A and B are shown apart, each in its own frame.
Chain A
Amino acid sequence: MTTDGNRDASQKRQKAMISDHFAKLSRAKEDGKKVVYTFVPGNLTELLSAFDVLPVLPEINALQSGMRGRSGKYIAEAEKSGHSEDVCTYVKCDLGMLKSGNIGPTGEKLPPPDLLLLSYTGCFTFMKWFELLREEYQCPVVMLQVPYQAEGEITPEMRKYVVDQLRNEVIPALERLTGTKYDEDKLREKMKLSARAEDDLVAVWESARHKPSPVDGYFGGVYYTGPIFSSFRGSQDAVEYYRELREEVEARIARGEGPTTPDGPLGNERYRLVVEGPPNWTNFFDFWRMFSREGAVVVASTYTRVGGLYDRGFRHSPDNPLESLADYCLGCYTNLSLPKRLDLLEHYVKEYSADGFLINSVKSCNSFSVGQLLMLRELEKRTGVPGGFIESDLVDPRYFGKANIENRVQSYLQMLAARMQRRAS
Chain B
Amino acid sequence: MKCVVGIDLGSTTTKAVLLDEDGRPISRGITNSRSNYGVACAAALDEARTAARFSFLERGVTLPAARAELPRLLDGFRLALYLAELAALRETILHELDRNLTRRVQKSVLAPAVESILADAVRAAPELFIDSKARKSEFFRDLAGAAFVASAERLAREGGVPFEPLVALYDRAILEVETRVRPRDEGALLHDALARSSVAPDVRAHLGDAIARAINEPLEEIAFTGTGYGRQTLPFPKSAIRSEILCHGRGAHRQFPGTRTVLDVGGQDTKGIQVDQHGVVTSFQMNDRCAAGCGRYLGYIADELGIGLHELGPLALQASRVVQVNSTCTVFAGAELRERLSLGQKREDILAGLHRGIMLRAMSILARSGGVFNEFTFTGGVCRNGMAVKLIRELVAESYGPDITVNIDTDSIFMGALGAALYALDDLRAGSPHLLPSFNAVENLPPGDLVPMTAPACASCA
Contact = CB atoms under 8 A, between A and B. Distances in A.
A404 interface: yes
A411 B283 contact: no
A114 to B, nearest CB: 41
B257 to A, nearest CB: 15
Interface in B148-172: none
A389 interface: yes
Contact of B244 (A386, A402, A411): A411
A415 B246 contact: yes
Contact of A404 (B245, B280, B288): B288
A401 B282 CA distance: 24
6 contacts: A402-B232, A403-B232, A406-B231, A415-B280, A415-B284, A422-B280
Contact of A415 (B282, B286, B289, B370): B282
Interface string B239-266: 0001111100000000000000000000
A347 interface: no
B418 interface: no
B285 A389 contact: yes
Contacts of A414: 242-243, 246
Nearest to A293: B238
Interface of A: 373, 377, 380, 386-387, 389-391, 399, 401-404, 406-408, 410-412, 414-415, 418-419, 422
B78 to A, nearest CB: 35
A387 B281 CA distance: 11
Contact of A377 (B232, B245, B288, B370): B370
Given A373-B368, A386-B283, A415 B245 contact: yes
Nearest to A389: B285
Nearest to A399: B289
Contact of A407 (B243, B278, B281, B289): B243
Given A377-B370, A401-B289, A414-B243, A407 B231 contact: yes
Contact of A411 (B243, B288, B368, B370): B243
A410 B243 contact: yes
B230 interface: yes
Given A407-B243, A415-B246, A418-B281, A391 B288 contact: yes
A383 to B, nearest CB: 13
Contacts of A410: 231, 243
Contacts of B231: 403, 406-407, 410
A349 to B, nearest CB: 15
Contacts of A406: 231-232
Interface string B319-338: 00000000000000000000
B285 A418 contact: no
Given A406-B232, A414-B246, 15 more contacts: A373-B368, A377-B370, A387-B283, A390-B288, A391-B288, A399-B289, A404-B289, A407-B231, A411-B246, A414-B243, A415-B284, A418-B281, A419-B282, A422-B278, A422-B280
Nearest to A398: B289
A411 B284 contact: yes
Given A404-B288, A411-B244, A380 B283 contact: yes
Contacts of A386: 282-283
A401 B229 CA distance: 14
A143 to B, nearest CB: 36
B288 A401 contact: yes
Contact of B246 (A387, A399, A402, A418): A418
Given A391-B288, A401-B288, A411 B280 contact: no
- Give the interface SS of chain A, mostly helix, strand, loop or mixed: helix
Nearest to A418: B280
Contacts of A390: 288
B137 to A, nearest CB: 28
B245 A411 contact: yes
Contacts of B281: 411, 415, 418
Nearest to A417: B246
A402 B91 CA distance: 40
A306 B228 CA distance: 38
A169 B15 CA distance: 68
Nearest to A422: B280
Interface string B174-188: 000000000000000
Contacts of A380: 283
A211 B46 CA distance: 47
Contacts of A403: 230-232
A271 to B, nearest CB: 14
Interface in B340-366: none
A380 to B, nearest CB: 7
Contact of B286 (A399, A402, A408, A418): A408
Contacts of B232: 402-403, 406
Interface string B364-405: 000010100000000000000000000000000000000000
Contacts of B243: 407, 410-411, 414-415
Contacts of B286: 408
Contacts of A404: 288-289
A391 B283 CA distance: 15
Contacts of B245: 411, 415
Contacts of A422: 278, 280
Nearest to B241: A410
A380 B280 CA distance: 16
Given A403-B230, A407-B231, A419 B280 contact: yes
A292 to B, nearest CB: 15
Nearest to B368: A373
A296 to B, nearest CB: 14
B216 to A, nearest CB: 39
Contacts of A401: 288-289
Contacts of A391: 288-289
A16 B289 CA distance: 39
Nearest to A373: B368
Contacts of A412: 284
Nearest to B271: A411
Nearest to A414: B243
Counting from the closest, the 4 A-B pairs by CB-CB distance are A411-B243, A411-B245, A415-B281, A414-B243
Nearest to A391: B288
A399 B284 CA distance: 20
Nearest to B285: A389
Specify which of B231, B232, B242, B280 lies most central, judged by the most chain A CB atoms within 10 Å of its CB: B280
Contacts of B284: 411-412, 415
Contacts of B242: 414
A161 to B, nearest CB: 39
Contacts of B246: 411, 414-415, 418
Contacts of A402: 232
Nearest to A409: B243
A387 B283 CA distance: 7
B246 to A, nearest CB: 5
Interface string B284-304: 111011000000000000000
A86 to B, nearest CB: 14
Contacts of B282: 386, 415, 419
A399 B245 CA distance: 22
A99 to B, nearest CB: 27
Contacts of B370: 377
Contacts of A387: 283
A303 to B, nearest CB: 20
Nearest to B426: A421
